[in-house]
Amino acid sequence: MHQTAIFYPVLALVMWTMLVLLLMPYRRFKAAFSGTVTPADFRYGESAKVPPEVSLPNRAYMNLLEAPMLFYVVCVVLFELKAVSPLALKLAWAYVVLRVLHSLIHLIYNNVFHRLTAFAASSGVLVALWVCALMGLQQAG
């Protein structure tokens, strides 16, 4: 197995993050052109006047920059340890799918329980990836 295969799920999550990033200005400009918000509503972040459909992409984007940082790090660690196994690769793809699902739930219908389920599942997968890295570290040492 090519160790570089671990970077395909990394690139997929990066691309998804960029798509969510593009959704922010789209929704903000749309709201501004309709008169729902003004530039002043974003002077110090987002004011209370900003409707949820405008602020949700920002929150979804922030979510994609928080816990996924640990995903990016573990993927680099696995690569450096030459510990990218078929299991680690499947876990990495599962993590990406769950994070995309989490974002879609957040952006489309925002059911907190569904979102929490996707987040918890992705967190479990992330822990499993770190266990793979720990096992790779033990084998390398």
Q: pLDDT in tens for each of the 141 residues of the chain? A: 799 999 999 999 999 999 999 999 999 999 999 999 988 888 887 888 899 888 999 999 999 999 999 999 999 999 999 999 999 999 999 999 999 999 999 999 999 999 999 999 999 999 999 999 999 999 987
Range of the domain at 120: 3-140
Residue 63 tokens read as 């979510």
CATH number at residue 96: 1.20.120.550
The total number of structural domains in the chain stands at 1
Residue 87 tokens read as 């299991």
Query: Residue 11, Cβ neighbours under 10 Å: how many?
Result: 10
pLDDT computed for residue 43 by the predictor: 85
